[in-house]
Structure 1
Amino acid sequence: MKKIAVLTSGGDSPGMNAAVRAVVRKALFHDVEVYGVYQGYLGLLTNNIKPMERGTVGDKIQRGGTFLQSARCPEFKDKEVRQKGIDNLNALGIEGLVVVGGDGSYRGAQRLSEEGINTIGIPGTIDNDINGTDFTIGFDTALNTIIDAIDKIRDTASSHERTFIIEVMGRDAGDLALWSALAGGAETVLVPEHKKDIKEVADKIQQGIERGKKHSIIVVAEGVMSGDECAEQLKKYINVDTRVSVLGHMQRGGSPSGVDRVLASRLGAYAVELLMEGESGLAVGIQNNKLTKTKFEDIFSSQHVLDERMFRLTNELSI
């Protein structure tokens, strides 16, 4: 393999730049030419594809977001539209493609693999909702951003004896909410994987008040309900002073943590190795600190599973 390309797609996550850097430098180390596709799959269609050098990815490993940029491209689902992107790659002699992104990005990568472009996926999403890997790039950084926010919010919650409801991202997965609730010492966590009656939450807060507790922190995943909805439902069962904090897109930003930089570097380099070996239709990941590869169809065959032991532990420690 003489030429490969790399793109980032879907929502940005801290560490994407580190992954792109690893792909570029690993490929160049093995005398493989590398091209960057700007604006994700849209860039494939518009031929926004440029050669990459070592210096192109210099001063990027510590930066959040993605310098290759990302863009929504629903039309890429159409086979005839995808063919335009394939033609652009073929015209440049590009034989392999690395796609950094989440579930939707993987589906596009799978189609390209089936249509003749050797393709490898790298899990880049703060949601940590991709099968075949224990962790996705960006999850650790987003988690630490949320924990920092919880710590700060707890200060004011305690000062004013309030119940704060903190809404976090995660789409249909509860990992960000669960991990941040455990690490932040929240009294309650609401995740999509477990339906919880708001009355139970209210009862738990009341029990805390009766023990002399002055404040409470509730972490709610966006896949369950909004923070405002949670506050409204809570008022039906308990009279407490509530405030809602929606952390929003600040969870996506910021300099990637050391964990995410290392993970991105390992996965990016591994993706290049697989392409050089002629592999395709695979996503790389990490399980038990070992690099893994999983077929796209196996990733799509089941949903991401929440760590049940951690969920029980969070409830046990918040009593």
Structure 2
Amino acid sequence: MKRIAVLTSGGDSPAMNAAIRAVVRTGIEKGLKVYGVHRGYNGLISGEIFEMDKHSVSDIIQRGGTILRTARSEEFKTPEGRQKALNVIKVLKIDGIIVIGGDGSFHGADLLSDLGVPTIGIPGTIDNDLAYTDYTVGFDTALNTAIDAINKIRDTSSSHERVSVIEVMGRNCGDLAIYSGIAGGAEYVVVPEKPFTVEDICENIFNGKRSGKLHNIIILAEGVGGAQKLARKIEEITSIETRATVLGYIQRGGSPSASDRILASRMGNKAVEVLLEGKSARVIGIKNNKIIDMDIKEALAIPKVFDEELFDLSISLSN
């Protein structure tokens, strides 16, 4: 193996740049030529590939987003699109590819592996929705961003003695909502994995009011959706002023936390090592603080198990 490439695909997440940096610097240290691919799989199809050196990744570890930029590629989902990408890979003599992204990006990496291209995946997504790994790159930073917003909203919520419904990201996975609910001292957490009723939430609000609480924070995962609607319902039932805040894309941006920078660096380093071991169709993860690699098909097949214990803790501490 002499030449490897790295790309970022799908939604961006904090510390993707730290992972890119680790891939480039580890690869160069191992005597490889390392190439960057602009705009994910779209760039692979159109040949937007350039050689990187150590200077290419200077001063990026603290930056959010991805210097390689990212995109979603409908064309790559077709056999014709993948063949175009394969042609580019062959012409440029790329011996292996490292893909940083979420489950959709991993499916793309798996398809590349099926075409005979050694491919390794690094989990970069704020949703923490890949079951094979304890944490994904970007989750911790997004969590801290949510906590910062919750703290600020609580201040004004207390001043006005109102209820605040705060919607965090998490399409099909409630991890961000649960973690931010516990760390942010929320009165209720609403996640896609658990049924809820507005009446249950209102009961919690009334209980809090009787015990002297000046505010109520409700954390809602985007997979459940409807923060404005839920706020209206709560105000209708309780007659307490209720406001909704959708945090949205601020959770994806910003300087990554120290934890995410270290995790991304460890995973980027491991990805290069796994390629040099001659492996393909693998994904990098972390289990019990150990960096691991696993077959990509096996990893994607593992169902995400909802953490009932953590959810129960969020309910218990809200009372």
TM range (shorter): over 0.9
CA deviations on 1:84-117 (whole Å, 9 max, x unpaired) are: 1111011111010000000100000000001110
Alignment of 1:145-156 (within 5 A): 145-156=145-156
- State the distance in 2 between where 1:86 and 1:277 align: 22
Contact 1:5 1:37 survives alignment (8 Å):
yes
1:75 aligns with 2:75: yes
Which residue is 1:61 aligned to?
A: 61
Question: What is the match of residue 125 of structure 1?
Answer: 125
- Matched letter for residue 26 of structure 1: T
Residue 80 of structure 1, CA deviation: 1.5
Between 294-303 and 114-123, report the one with greater CA deviation: 294-303
- Check the 8 A contact 1:132/1:293 in 2, yes or no: no
Partner Cα distance (2:22, 2:229) in 1? 42
1: CA distance, partners of 2:38 / 2:76: 15
How far is the alpha carbon of 1:293 from its aligned partner?
Answer: 1.2
Aligned to 2:263: 263
Counterpart Cα distance in 2 of 1:183 and 1:239: 28
Task: After TM superposition, give the deviation of residue 299 of structure 1 in Å.
Answer: 2.1
Counterparts of 1:306 and 1:59 in 2: how far apart (Å)? Answer: 38
In 1, Cα distance between equivalents of 2:55 and 2:247: 35
| Deviations 1:134-170 (CA, angstroms, capped at 9, x unpaired) | 0000000000000011111111000000000000001
Q: State whether structure 2 residue 238 is matched by structure 1 residue 217.
A: no
The equivalent residue for 1:174 is: 174
Partner SS for 1:245: strand
Q: Determine if the alignment matches structure 1 residue 281 to structure 2 residue 258.
A: no
SS at match of 2:105: helix
Residue aligning to 1:292 = 292
Which residue is 1:41 aligned to? 41
Distance in structure 1 (CA, Å) of the matches to 2:303 and 2:283: 16
Question: Aligned AA for 2:12?
Answer: D
- Alpha-carbon distance in structure 2 between the residues aligned to 1:191 and 1:53: 43
5+ long unaligned stretches in structure 1: none
Match of 1:116 in 2: 116
Q: TM-score, normalised by structure 1?
A: 0.98
**Aligned-residue offset at 1:186:** 0.4
Please tell me whether residue 142 in structure 1 is matched to residue 157 in structure 2.
no
Q: Which amino acid aligns with 1:133?
A: T
Which range moved further: 138-147 or 69-78?
A: 69-78
How far did residue 236 of structure 1 move? 4.5
Map of 1:20 onto structure 2:
20
CA distance in 2, matches of 1:296, 1:270: 15
Q: 2:15, 2:65 within 8 Å by CA — same for their partners in 1?
A: yes
Amino acid at match of 2:190: L
What's the CA shift for 1:198? 1.3
Q: CA deviation at 1:303?
A: 2.7
Distance 2:80 2:145 in 1: 41
> 1:212 deviation in Å?
2.0
> Is 1:101 matched with 2:101?
yes
Question: RMSD of the alignment, in Å?
Answer: 0.9
Q: 1: distance between equivalents of 2:132 and 2:292?
A: 8
Give TM-score, length-normalised by structure 2: 0.98
Between 281-290 and 236-245, the greater mean CA deviation after superposition: 236-245
Deviation readout 1:18-68 (Å, 9 max, x if unpaired): 000000000000101100000000000110000011100111111000000
8 Å contact from structure 2 (residues 232, 242) kept in 1:
no
> Aligned equivalents of 2:199 and 2:295: distance in 1?
43
Q: Distance in 1 between matches of 2:275 and 2:281?
A: 10
**What secondary structure is seen at the aligned counterpart in 1 of 2:225?**
coil
Q: Which amino acid aligns with 1:225?
A: G
Q: How far, CA to CA, are the matches of 2:298 and 2:231 in structure 1? A: 39
Matched residue of 1:237: which SS?
helix
Residue number in structure 2 paired with 1:50: 50
Deviation at 1:312, TM superposition (A): 0.7
Q: Gaps (5+ residues) in structure 2?
A: none
